[in-house]
Structure 1
Amino acid sequence: MWGFVNCSRYFRTGGAPMIVLHDASLRVDTTEKVAVLIRAGQGKSTIIRMLAGLEMPDSGTVLRDAGGWPLGYSGGMNAEMTGEANIRTLAKFADVDPLELSAFCYDFSELGSAYHQPVKTYSSTMKGRLGMAASLGLPARTYLADDRLVSGDEAFRAKAGAALAERLQDTGLIFVASNPRQAKDVCDRYYVVNDGAFVACDDYDHACAMLDASQVDDAGSPLDADIPLFDLV
């Protein structure tokens, strides 16, 4: 089970206190495919970071299941190490065969000789390819995705999309996005974050309409007067 139980998360932007979540709750089964739609700038990455355990709420409980993995994330790679060394380190952390995962990532990423070069020499596209290969090569039970499911050039997006569709036959997905289009063909449930709460939607079209109708600005929801300011310190 993934989700939030009476969670609140506040932050400041430009000196003004804002809301990401306010006493919000959401429950997602491990193999469900759920889209959480949120206006740009309202805390999309914050929600994913809380689910991944990289950030804590100001109050409430975050539910995390075993076997979750961020989809296509390469931010945790050591720039001084080669792509291969990063993948082998990741394999040990995930308790999978380093040789098997490395062989898969070398082939899937199509980096060629660059796979054996330091990650600091990679372009953002190359790092994205390696991150996607690592995600698809690991035995995840639930993918956590932030704003996009696949990236890269057209050919690589098609390849990664096909591989992801196959994985999602028995793997869950929590997709937090400001652009709902990629969620349409892969998600079964939809929520919109509005005024710090997860609002359930009937279907994709309802979710899009609710997102469009949201009156919050791009910086997030204004802080209500009844939220204690000491929580923001």
Structure 2
Amino acid sequence: MVKPYYADFDGLPSISNGREAWVYAEGRGWYEINAASHGMNSWPVTKAEFDKMFPGTPELPPEAFTEKPHQAEDQKKPYYADFGGLPSRFVKGEAWAYTESAGWYEINSTSHGANSYPITKEAFDECFPNTPPLPPEAFQEKPHPVEDQKILESLPPDEREPVESPMKENPGLTAEERELVQRLMKDYPGLTAERALEGLRAAGM
């Protein structure tokens, strides 16, 4: 589980790990809130700052940040988000946006992360009413890279595509650009370095 961080949630002490968030209020104690809402209305602080700002805050309850039976399944569910005024859904490594003209379409997840913010389902329904359901292919299991390699090895040599190296084919890339290309190729096993670069440049990165 991701290590929780300390935060100031609209003047109240809070702790979150991005998936789960807890807030403390006098008279109510610690209570769990929507993690996306917490992320939008709080800012992280160090442990020293937290102790100085909120002295005497009691320890978290035992059930906070413990593995829950539904948690593994919940982590597979895509988040709701606002992508530059468009409805969108995302999980790590995959993102989809919707427009009336194009319908749902998959977009670069790195670009989505840099140009969107998560919202609750209630806020999503209010901001983007009548948004249709996601297409069947969205957020489905992708072939594992190991399986892809087995498929590749089963092909005759003349049918195999050479493995592209962003380092070799694009020596002028900066260290940051190389890292982004490699990250995209890792997230999308079938993506070539050239297509990854095209996507990054189209996103203005």
Shared fold (TM-score greater than 0.5)? Answer: no
Larger radius of gyration: 2
TM-score by length of 1: 0.23
TM-score by length of 2: 0.25
